[in-house]
């Protein structure tokens, strides 16, 4: 009897192990090698730039407004997220009313409502709130510069107030991710009583929250190993049925070295890598992996100086530089990993605007313009460009700048490259062309994202954004542009706002405060087992709609 | 011995202070914005000023240093700007990870280094000596970064035998000595071991050759001692120097290798320093360098003590 029981017990254990083993074997796991050197922050407001939003923002959290990531052939536009509709107050255009999506719950089971929105605005804007977190302020507030406060009107209606009328607010709000107040409070309550300073308690609560996050997104945080891995599991109760994950688990691995990422993919250690080593692309495709790329809202430019004595004050010179570069050759040089720009946004984009200046390769016209401006092979125009040897979004700056140096020689430019350390160059981007750290440069090479109108256009051409306020590095001042910006900011219907932005973009291209060189294409390589991949024209990508075969 | 220990400890104090001062000065002199990881360049002056004050960067340098040093004395290395996690826990975790790698590399490096060194010294000027010496020179000369990449290409990309990156497989929360984790350890440890292997081999070769030429070895042989017995005497005489070299090499390895740990995404001190440098994470940078400097000081102390135990003449000197 005893032996029979033991045998039955053993059989049971074996059977259970088999079931568990099969389930584990069948788990659909997607392993991603990121370029980041650390796991982007998981507490709601990620760091590590847009890669952070891509991997620990959008999958874990929702914002009031979302980017539409479902199309590869159109510009990504803002769509409803946790808010179903919104409108500005006709009498006071600094107030917006957002109607919230009913029935949404955080991963911890608590409800998402107007109070949660107020709490999430307070976490970065209200220094007196117990959960205010300084470490989240920088990456958040800078991306929604005019938002000032939030007030709950009822359970599912919230009023947001801005410092001035600002039609960009719904776009900015894609950056404010909704973390769970109830979950944070639970973490706060669990902080040992020995920690008495409220700020220290809040800090510890946020640290605990980051290790065990709770948002409303399609994935839940499952395992966090600092600097090593972050694992997320599918949220089967996600409110948007179309984005309910078909992948069971996503593993994020920081692999900052491009060759190491490539080797990890080739060795089947990961299923997806960001930015593979360009030289390895043929090998990657030969081994059956799939390359994805699409024009990103990104510009690789030279931004010109308009301070006294700058060689770029003459518009003919600016146009000549834009006409002198054979970008198709540069594309070849980069193994096809770039798109040719026609402005800061491409034709077909809602902000395109059909400018009269056509950015293209036209050497005779470029030379004619330069001769007209008084330059020739005997009278070269000296220009000095501040650039870096590497840096986020900079693609391959040395190779690309040397290509430009050579190309522009054909149009009577004598280009001197001033190569600085990335952080120093980046810092000077805000200090401006007049600052000693510009090292006498009259153009700067710092790449930028163009998802948001402020970041894409306004900060470079508004007289109010001259250094040290923002990135109008070259001190470009033109009252016409200030009026166009004001018109865009105060036009509150989306179509009217986009039309105003299109007029602004067209004028920017015509005045050419940049040499537009390339758009990055966000190359990524994936195992052929990963299906349903849509690479939108965006910095982001939707993991929730992918599947693994 | 107690006096000797106290004297060595006393010597260590100014070294630690000097290292912290130099490290603090260097990280603050370097160009770039210390808030770059948490503050985009478009941040308003108001937000920037608020953040500078919140992190204490608006205070004079000497105040910042004294505050940091005082807290460090109490075991508080501050909070990482980029991750908002305590620096102490970040560094401890990284040191633990580097320790695993360093110990594995040390075992491989010293085992092969001693083998090559002793064999080369014992058979001086023979083809065995030349072969072993060539291997040692190659070990010292070959660039880590390149070797790591070559090993990854062969064993990961082409053969698929070993993982190219990371400390452990999916689902792992920490390093445990099982087959999967050992596989992850193999390539970085091998890459890291070649330099100590070369150095130990060359040092041991010279030592063994020199000891073999001394009169007492001739006397031992004349007394009829077997070659095994002579060998034991040779090893005993070579040991203090070999251990000193080993200690220093272990110290270097514990400092982590930025290149190796970055190539293999091994989350140790080198990887941490690399991150801290690129993110201008000053508290993390200062904390990591301080802990590594302390490691060196302690390790040198341990080596001195062990050497003294093995050879009391050192203490007298």
Spell out which residues of chain A touch residue B170, defining contact as CB-CB under 8 Å: 29, 31, 229, 231, 251
Shortest Cα distance, chain A CAs vs residue B163, angstroms = 6
Are A282 and A376 part of one and the same domain? no
- Mean pLDDT for chain A? 91
Spell out which residues of chain B touch residue A432, defining contact as CB-CB under 8 Å: none
Average pLDDT over every residue of A317-340: 94
A23-45 tens-digit pLDDT? 445 789 999 999 887 888 999 99
Taking 3-state DSSP, the helix, strand and coil percentages for chain A, each rounded to the nearest 5, stand at 35, 20, 45
| Domain total in chain A | 3
Residues facing A274 on adjacent strands: A524
Please choose, from the candidates B307, B102, B90, the residue with its C-alpha nearest in 3D space to the C-alpha of residue B195. Answer: B102
Cross-chain residue pair A139–B40, CB shorter than 8 Å: yes
Q: Is position A207 within any domain?
A: no
Residues 140-159 of B with CB under 8 A from A: 149, 152-153, 156-157
- Mean pLDDT for chain B? 82
Region of B166 on the Ramachandran plot (φ > 0 left; ψ -120 to 50 alpha; else beta): left
Cross-chain residue pair A38–B264, CB shorter than 8 Å: no
Cross-chain residue pair B45–A459, CB shorter than 8 Å: no
Range of the domain at B287: 1-38+62-81+280-317
Are B101 and B219 part of one and the same domain? yes
Q: What is the DSSP letter of B79?
A: B
Give me the pLDDT at residue A206, please: 94
* Tokens coding A318: 């600016």
Are B113 and B234 part of one and the same domain? yes
Q: Examine the pLDDT at B35 and tell me if it is beyond 90.
A: no
Is residue B220 within 8 A of residue B159, CB to CB? The reply is no
Are A45 and A136 part of one and the same domain? no
CATH number at residue A542: 3.40.190.10
State the best of A263, A289, A461 to mutate against chain B, taking most chain B CBs within 10 Å: A263
B259-306 tens-digit pLDDT? 888 888 888 888 888 888 877 788 888 888 888 888 777 877 787 777
Is residue A36 within 8 A of residue A52, CB to CB? The reply is yes
From residue B74, alpha-carbon distances to B71, B78, B199 in Å are 5, 11, 38
Shortest Cα distance, chain A CAs vs residue B25, angstroms = 17
Q: Examine the pLDDT at A150 and tell me if it is beyond 50.
A: yes
Are A348 and A487 part of one and the same domain? yes
Q: Examine the pLDDT at A19 and tell me if it is beyond 50.
A: no
Question: Cβ of B60 under 8 Å from any chain A Cβ?
Answer: no
From residue A190, alpha-carbon distances to A68, A184, A198, A205, A222 in Å are 38, 10, 13, 8, 19
Give me the pLDDT at residue A253, please: 92
What confidence tier does A17 reach under pLDDT thresholds 50, 70, 90? very low
What confidence tier does B172 reach under pLDDT thresholds 50, 70, 90? low
Are A20 and A121 part of one and the same domain? no
Q: Which percentage of chain B shows pLDDT scores above 90?
A: 5
Cross-chain residue pair B265–A135, CB shorter than 8 Å: no
Q: Is position A31 within any domain?
A: yes
CA of residue A67 relative to chain centroid, distance? 11
Residue B304 or A276, more confident: A276
Q: Is position A546 within any domain?
A: yes
Give me the pLDDT at residue B232, please: 84
Among the partner residues A47, A210, A429, nearest to B82 by beta-carbon distance: A47
Question: Cβ of B71 under 8 Å from any chain A Cβ?
Answer: no
Q: Is position B250 within any domain?
A: yes
Are B258 and B315 part of one and the same domain? no
Instruction: Output phi, psi for A458, to 5 deg.
Output: -55, -45
CATH number at residue A99: 3.90.76.10
A240-260 tens-digit pLDDT? 999 999 999 999 998 888 888
Among the partner residues B47, B171, B265, nearest to A142 by beta-carbon distance: B47
Are B69 and B213 part of one and the same domain? no
Question: Cβ of B173 under 8 Å from any chain A Cβ?
Answer: yes
Are B310 and B196 part of one and the same domain? no
**Spatial separation of the C-alpha atoms in residues A455 and A452, rounded to whole Å:** 5
Average pLDDT over every residue of A10-16: 47
In a 3-state reduction of DSSP, which class is residue A34?
A: strand
Among the partner residues A145, A226, A421, nearest to B93 by beta-carbon distance: A226
Q: Is position A222 within any domain?
A: yes
Question: Cβ of B14 under 8 Å from any chain A Cβ?
Answer: no
Tokens 């910095």, residue located = A539
Please choose, from the candidates B88, B104, B152, the residue with its C-alpha nearest in 3D space to the C-alpha of residue B253. Answer: B104
User: Can you count the helices (H) and strands (E) in chain A?
Assistant: 18, 21
Supply the pTM of this predicted model: 0.81
Are A390 and A501 part of one and the same domain? yes
Q: Is position A205 within any domain?
A: no
Beta strand spans in B6-135 (E)? none
Q: Is position A208 within any domain?
A: no
What confidence tier does B41 reach under pLDDT thresholds 50, 70, 90? low
Spell out which residues of chain A touch residue B171, defining contact as CB-CB under 8 Å: 223, 231
A480-497 tens-digit pLDDT? 999 999 999 999 998 999
Are B95 and B236 part of one and the same domain? yes
Range of the domain at A117: 61-185
Cross-chain residue pair B32–A424, CB shorter than 8 Å: yes
Q: Examine the pLDDT at A14 and tell me if it is beyond 60.
A: no
Among the partner residues A33, A138, A267, nearest to B51 by beta-carbon distance: A138
A151-210 tens-digit pLDDT? 999 999 999 999 999 999 999 999 999 999 999 999 999 999 998 888 889 989 999 999
State the best of A28, A123, A423 to mutate against chain B, taking most chain B CBs within 10 Å: A423
Q: Examine the pLDDT at A239 and tell me if it is beyond 80.
A: yes
Give me the pLDDT at residue A335, please: 83
**Spatial separation of the C-alpha atoms in residues A505 and A113, rounded to whole Å:** 38
Output Rg (C-alpha) for chain B, integer angstroms: 24
Q: Is position B106 within any domain?
A: yes
> Peptide bond preceding A468: is omega within 30 degrees of 0, i.e. cis?
yes
Spell out which residues of chain A touch residue B39, defining contact as CB-CB under 8 Å: 138-139, 142
Q: Which residue of A has its CA nearest to B43?
A: A142
H or E stretch at A220: strand A219-225
**Spatial separation of the C-alpha atoms in residues B124 and B118, rounded to whole Å:** 10
Q: Which percentage of chain A shows pLDDT scores above 90?
A: 71
Cross-chain residue pair B265–A256, CB shorter than 8 Å: yes
Q: Is position A510 within any domain?
A: yes
Give me the pLDDT at residue A151, please: 97
Q: Is position A340 within any domain?
A: yes
């Amino acid at each position: 009897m005893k032996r029979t029981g033991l045998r039955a017990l053993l059989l049971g254990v074996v059977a259970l192990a088999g079931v568990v083993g099969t389930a584990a074997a069948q788990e659909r796991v997607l392993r991603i090698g990121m370029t980041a050197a650390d796991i982007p922050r998981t507490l709601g407001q990620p760091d590590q730039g847009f890669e952070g939003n891509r991997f620990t923002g959008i999958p874990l959290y929702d914002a009031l407004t979302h980017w539409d990531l479902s199309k590869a052939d159109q510009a990504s536009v803002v769509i409803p997220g946790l808010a179903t509709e919104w409108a500005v107050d006709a009498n006071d255009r600094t107030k917006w009313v957002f109607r919230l999506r009913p029935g949404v719950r955080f991963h911890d089971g608590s409800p998402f409502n107007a109070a949660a929105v107020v709490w999430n605005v307070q976490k970065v804007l209200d220094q007196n709130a117990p959960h205010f977190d300084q470490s989240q302020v920088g990456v958040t507030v800078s991306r929604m510069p005019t938002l000032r406060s939030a007030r709950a009107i009822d359970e599912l209606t919230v009023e947001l107030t801005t410092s001035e009328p600002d039609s960009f607010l719904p776009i900015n709000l894609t950056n404010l991710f909704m973390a769970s107040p109830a979950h944070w409070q639970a973490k706060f309550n669990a902080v040992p009583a020995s920690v008495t300073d409220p700020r220290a308690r809040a800090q510890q609560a946020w640290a605990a929250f980051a290790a065990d996050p709770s948002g409303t997104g399609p994935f839940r945080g499952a395992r966090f190993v600092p600097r090593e891995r972050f694992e997320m599991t599918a949220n089967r109760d996600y409110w948007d049925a179309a984005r309910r994950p078909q992948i069971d688990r996503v593993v994020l691995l920081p692999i900052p070295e491009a060759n190491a990422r490539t080797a990890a993919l080739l060795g089947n250690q990961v299923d997806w890598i960001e930015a593979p080593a360009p030289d390895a692309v043929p090998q990657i495709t030969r081994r059956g992996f799939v390359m994805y790329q699409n024009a990103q809202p990104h510009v690789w430019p030279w931004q010109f100086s308009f301070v006294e004595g700058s060689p770029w004050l003459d518009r003919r010179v600016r146009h000549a530089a834009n006409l002198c570069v054979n970008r198709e050759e540069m594309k070849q040089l980069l193994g096809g990993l770039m798109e040719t720009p026609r402005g800061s946004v491409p034709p077909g984009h809602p902000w395109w605007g059909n400018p009269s200046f056509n950015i293209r390769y036209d050497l005779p016209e470029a030379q004619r313009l330069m001769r007209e401006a008084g330059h020739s092979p005997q009278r070269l125009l000296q220009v000095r460009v501040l650039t870096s040897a590497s840096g986020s979004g900079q693609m391959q700056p040395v190779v690309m700048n040397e290509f430009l140096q050579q190309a522009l020689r054909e149009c009577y430019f004598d280009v001197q490259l001033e190569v600085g350390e990335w952080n120093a160059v980046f810092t000077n981007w805000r200090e401006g062309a007049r600052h000693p750290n510009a090292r006498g440069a009259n153009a700067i090479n710092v790449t930028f994202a163009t998802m948001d109108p402020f970041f894409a256009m306004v900060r470079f051409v508004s007289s109010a954004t001259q250094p040290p306020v923002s990135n109008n590095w070259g001190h470009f001042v033109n009252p016409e542009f200030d009026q166009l910006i004001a018109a865009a900011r105060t036009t509150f219907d989306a179509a009217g706002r986009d039309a105003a932005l299109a007029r602004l973009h067209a004028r920017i291209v015509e005045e050419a405060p940049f040499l537009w060189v390339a758009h990055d294409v966000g190359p990524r390589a994936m195992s052929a087992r990963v299906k349903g991949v849509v690479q939108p024209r965006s910095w982001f990508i939707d993991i929730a709609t992918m599947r693994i075969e | 011995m107690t006096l000797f220990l106290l004297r060595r400890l006393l010597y260590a104090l100014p070294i630690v202070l000097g290292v912290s001062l130099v490290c603090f000065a260097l990280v603050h002199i370097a160009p770039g914005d210390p808030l770059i990881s948490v503050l985009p360049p478009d941040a308003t002056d108001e937000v920037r000023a608020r953040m500078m004050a919140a992190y204490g960067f608006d205070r004079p340098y000497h105040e910042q240093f004294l505050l940091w040093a005082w807290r460090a004395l109490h075991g508080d290395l501050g909070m990482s700007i980029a991750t908002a996690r305590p620096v102490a826990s970040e560094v401890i975790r990284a040191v633990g990870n580097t320790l695993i790698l360093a110990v594995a590399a040390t075992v491989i490096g010293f085992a092969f280094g001693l083998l090559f060194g002793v064999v080369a010294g014992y058979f001086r000027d023979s083809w065995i000596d030349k072969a072993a010496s060539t291997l040692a020179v190659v070990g010292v000369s070959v660039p880590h970064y390149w070797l790591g990449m070559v090993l990854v290409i062969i064993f990961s990309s082409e053969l698929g035998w070993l993982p190219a990156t990371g400390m452990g497989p999916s689902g792992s929360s920490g390093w445990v000595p099982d087959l999967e984790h050992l596989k992850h350890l193999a390539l970085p440890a091998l890459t890291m071991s070649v330099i100590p292997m070369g150095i130990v081999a060359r040092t041991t070769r010279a030592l063994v050759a020199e000891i073999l030429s001394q009169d007492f070895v001739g006397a031992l042989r004349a007394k009829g001692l077997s070659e095994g017995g002579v060998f034991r005497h040779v090893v005993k005489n070579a040991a203090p120097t070999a251990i000193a070299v080993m200690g220093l090499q272990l110290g270097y390895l514990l400092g982590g290798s930025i290149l190796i740990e970055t190539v293999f995404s091994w989350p140790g001190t080198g990887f941490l320093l690399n991150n801290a440098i690129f993110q201008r994470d000053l508290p993390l940078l200062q904390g990591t360098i301080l802990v590594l400097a302390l490691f060196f000081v302690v390790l040198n102390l341990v080596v001195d003590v062990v050497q003294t135990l093995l050879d009391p003449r050192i203490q007298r000197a």
